[in-house]
């Protein structure tokens, strides 16, 4: 996603935004009772960016 902070606005936060590795920010929200992980790739060269479109459900 392009802007993790805007996606978190008004949501029930399960785990606040954090950076588990360089170039990646994650947070968990609760949506309809289910935990959802949100990812933002802050490094345009991060290998996960190549698969970003495949991760959308």
pLDDT tens for each residue of 5-14: 999 999 999 9
pTM: 0.73
Instruction: Find the Cα–Cα–Cα–Cα dihedral 1, 8, 29, 56, rounded to 10°.
Output: -20
What CA–CA distance (Å, rounded) separates 17 from 41? 12
For the residues 36-48, what does the mean pLDDT come to? 81
Q: DSSP label at 32?
A: T
Mean pLDDT for all residues in the chain: 83
Instruction: State the alpha helices, DSSP H only, in 3-51.
Output: 4-8
**Structural tokens at position 47:** 């290998």
Do 46 and 19 touch, CB atoms closer than 8 A?
Answer: no
Delimit the domains of the chain by residue range. 4-55
pLDDT tens profile 12-37: 999 999 999 888 899 999 999 999 99
């Amino acid at each position: 996603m392009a802007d993790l902070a805007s996606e978190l606005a008004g949501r029930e936060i399960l785990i606040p935004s954090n950076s588990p590795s360089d170039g990646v920010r994650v947070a968990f929200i609760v949506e309809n009772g289910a935990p959802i992980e949100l990812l933002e790739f802050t490094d345009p060269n991060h290998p996960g960016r190549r698969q970003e479109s495949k991760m959308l459900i």
